[in-house]
Amino acid sequence: MLEVKGLRVGRGGLRWQHDFALARGRVMALMGPSGAGKSTLLECLGGFVPPLAGEIVLDGRPLHGLRAEDRPVATLFQQHNLFEHISVAHNLRLGFRQGNPSAPQWRRVVDACELLGVADLLARLPGELSGGQRQRVALIRTVLRERPLILLDEPFGALDPDTRIEAGDWVRRVIDRDGKMLIFVTHDADDARRWADRTLEIGAA
Amino acid sequence: MIAERLSPPTGAAPDGGLRFALGLRLMPGVLALFVMLAISVAALLALALRSNAGVSLTLLQERWFWHVLRFSLWQALLSAVLSLLIALPLARTLALDRHLPGRTWFQRLCLLCFVMPSLVLITGLVTLFGRSGWITPLLGGGWQLYGLPGILIAHVYLNAPFAIRVLSQRWQSIPVDAWKISAQLGLNGWQRFRLVEWPMLRTALPGVFGFVFLLCFNSFAVVLALGGGPRATTLEVAIFQALKFDFNPPEALFLACMQLVVAGSLFVLFSRWGGLQWLVAARAGDAWRPQVGMAVKWGGRALYAAVVAFLSLPIVSLVPAAAAAGRALPWPEIARATVFSVGFALAAALLAVALALAALSLWRHFDDAPRRRLVEAAAVHHLVIPGMVLSVGVYVLLMARVNWLEWGWVAIVLLNALMALPFVFVQLRPSMFEYDAQYRPLLADLGLQGWHHWRRVLGPFLAPALRRVAAIAFVLALGDFAVFGIYGNPSWHTLPWMIHALAGSYRLDEAAAAALLLLAVALAALCLLERARA
């Protein structure tokens, strides 16, 4: 269970306060206009923006005192999710301990790659992929990492409608099966209706 | 965008274990910083302690000193202006003329010329412009290589190629959209220059000018060999003479202080004027570029041909002399000297890279400008500290405790590494900056740290830049003449000293052959550099 209590976050002169909870196996969509602080909230949960006040508690353990490196969180950023100088397969492996996934872990990665149509790209460099392909590779690594809390910042933005549905359904299945928690940012109400259990609307500060 | 520093969030002080781990990780950087600064401070102190009479301030009243200072500044100014006058139109041609033949080879030649061992160049220039040189009859009766003309030719030869590479790279970095918009709006050549090209030049020119000026101001081997006497002497050579011939530490210390003050002030000034994108590997300019007019195009190509000839001739001129030397060459001696040269240069290059990486690990850790500037200053201050002062200072500091005949090789490696360090550090820093700017959040999210991080991600990312800087450091150390002059052992020679000895005993053909060999080793290292552009 993720509990966010009186969490105050700021960027520039803007301030937001959040209170919500999310149970295991549940998905929450974050919606709101540009500049409303959606990404800032994800960055705060991930440890990249220090909170001004409040608490983040995951399964009874406070997260807000931990460095980003030590939080049990996997994040998909809006950009720069892949190292450009190493292969797609190498990038995928880095999601696991010491870059060495176990055989079952790697099997799941390969299955996901096949499902989302990127299995043939494993030997390529990220620069040789289209925007949608890069997005899917990064999505697979983020969602399959052994982390209970998954944060996705506009994960389906670069995908065509069919792939979007396929990728979103796959993410939802993984969350259900592994009992993880997912928070994702979207501008599309259909995404929220289809995959989220609840939606948090953030207005302008 | 995630811009915040990824340190423990407010209110979460690192615990003891974490602090210890952080300290352990920073230890190499702290050690490197200590080595860099301590050697310079110790060298200056050693000279100061040797100067029983203190710093020789009486020189301030001597006309000779003011003449040396004025000449140092004047020749540096002329060299920098001439280098840029040649580099500007040629850099533009390289960037805009997409069908220019041999562009890639020319850029390699430029790099080779910039790091060319001074003694190779001097041998070539004497063959061309010396008393019985190939070109001398065309220059009239009053021609004299030794003095300002020789110094200017050599400095332009060494530095114009550097300026050409940096400026053409900057021209190529103009976004293709800016060129396209200017074409679509129908801007004429002048408007395009003013709106698209000048904004780039305005930020690049001060840095390039300043750097060339500084290199020429600190020039040693060229001025020593081609200055031709006291009328054409720089501060660096005057320091050498004060130490080598008169062993007059007070005078040397005063001159060194003057050099530090002038060169240090210039360095700070030029650094503030603008940054410098250094010797990045040559890239093919395959993006869209506007057509230039016929006159500009063919004018540029004529200049290109002239500069190719200017840069090639001193090298080509060595070939007949080297061939004439033929079997008379002392091959066993040359082979031994080559092995020593390569060994020293390799060790110095590796040490310079290790020091730069250690300093950069500290630089990355700091997120405030003052501490980052301290690391930068420690790593690049050897650009302005006279090499001769460093060498002699360390020598006299330890001569009571160390047998330099036996351990001189350690000083040769260490001091050459320190002198190559600014070039290595300044070239690696942008790569490290780019890496952090792009991947820092991702690294934190993936929890990548330590050796695992280095081996799997950072090492492969830096590999091309590391090969490049190691090659440049190798070639710079390969041409060392000054440090070996202090610490060299009579029982073994390096190639530059062998060239010097051969030329000094009028065995010019053999000197030319040794110079060509030195050049071939340098070229091999640089080819490795250009291979690292992927």
Let me know whether B99 and B79 are in one domain.
Answer: yes
Cβ pair A74:B445 closer than 8 A: yes
Let me know whether B446 and B506 are in one domain.
Answer: yes
- Identify which has the larger pLDDT, B440 or B16: B440
- DSSP, residue by residue, A36-90: SSHHHHHHHHHTSS--SEEEEEETTEE-TTS-GGGSSEEEE-SS--S-TTS-HHH
Q: How far apart are CA B494 and CA B333, in angstroms?
A: 10
Length of chain A: 205
| In-domain check, residue B329 | yes
Q: Which two tokens stand for residue A133?
A: 């392909």
Residue A167 has pLDDT above 70, yes or no: yes
Instruction: Let me know: does A88 contact A129? Beta carbons within 8 Å.
Output: yes
Q: Among B66, B238, B234, B64, which Cα is nearest to B151's? A: B234
| In-domain check, residue B17 | no
Residue B370 has pLDDT above 60, yes or no: yes
Let me know whether B189 and B329 are in one domain.
Answer: no
Q: How far apart are CA A117 and CA A159, in angstroms?
A: 12
Let me know whether B367 and B504 are in one domain.
Answer: yes
Let me know whether B275 and B367 are in one domain.
Answer: no
Cβ pair A46:B445 closer than 8 A: yes
Could you say which of B279, B296, B316 is where a domain stops? B316
Q: From residue B316, how far is each of B26, B121, B139, B321 by CA, in Å?
A: 49, 11, 20, 10
Cβ pair B442:A81 closer than 8 A: yes
Residue B273 has pLDDT above 90, yes or no: no
Residues of chain B in Cβ contact (below 8 Å) with chain A: 1-2, 4, 6-12, 438-439, 441-442, 444-449, 452, 456-457, 460-461
The partner residue sitting opposite B442, judged by closest CB among A50, A70, A80, is: A80
Cβ pair B460:A65 closer than 8 A: no
The partner residue sitting opposite B452, judged by closest CB among A50, A69, A98, is: A98
Mapped onto helix, strand or coil, the DSSP state of residue A162 is helix
Q: What is the pLDDT of residue B415?
A: 94
The partner residue sitting opposite A69, judged by closest CB among B438, B449, B461, is: B449
Q: Among B148, B125, B108, B229, which Cα is nearest to B511's? A: B125
Instruction: Let me know: does A34 contact A203? Beta carbons within 8 Å.
Output: no
| In-domain check, residue B61 | no
Q: In the CATH hierarchy, which top-level class contains the domain A2-201?
A: alpha beta
Residue B327 has pLDDT above 80, yes or no: no
CATH number at residue B184: 1.10.3720
Sequence-separated (6 or more) residues with CB below 8 Å from residue B25: B361, B450
Let me know whether B407 and B272 are in one domain.
Answer: no
Total tally of structural domains belonging to chain B: 2
Let me know whether B278 and B374 are in one domain.
Answer: no
> Which residues from chain B sit within 8 angstroms of residue A68, using beta carbons?
6, 441, 444-445
Q: What is the pLDDT of residue A204?
A: 62
Let me know whether B144 and B31 are in one domain.
Answer: no
Let me know whether B80 and B121 are in one domain.
Answer: yes
| In-domain check, residue B253 | no
Give the Cβ contact number of residue B144 at 10 Å: 13
Q: What would the pLDDT profile of A11-29 be if each residue is shown by its tens digit? A: 888 889 999 999 999 999 9
Let me know whether B336 and B310 are in one domain.
Answer: no
Let me know whether B312 and B379 are in one domain.
Answer: no
Which span out of A159-168, B43-52, B102-111, B476-485 was modeled with the highest average pLDDT? Answer: A159-168
**Percent over 70 (pLDDT), chain B:** 90
Let me know whether B345 and B301 are in one domain.
Answer: no
Q: Among B418, B291, B435, which Cα is nearest to A80's? A: B435
| In-domain check, residue B203 | yes
| In-domain check, residue B245 | no
Task: Give the mean pLDDT of B207-214.
Answer: 89
Residue B188 has pLDDT above 60, yes or no: yes
- Identify which has the larger pLDDT, B256 or B55: B256
- Residue B78's domain spans which residues? 68-212+222-231+267-316
Q: From residue B523, how far is each of A194, B94, B168 by CA, in Å?
A: 63, 22, 22
ipTM score = 0.74
| In-domain check, residue B7 | no
Q: How far apart are CA B64 and CA B61, in angstroms?
A: 9
CATH number at residue B414: 1.10.3720.10
| In-domain check, residue B5 | no
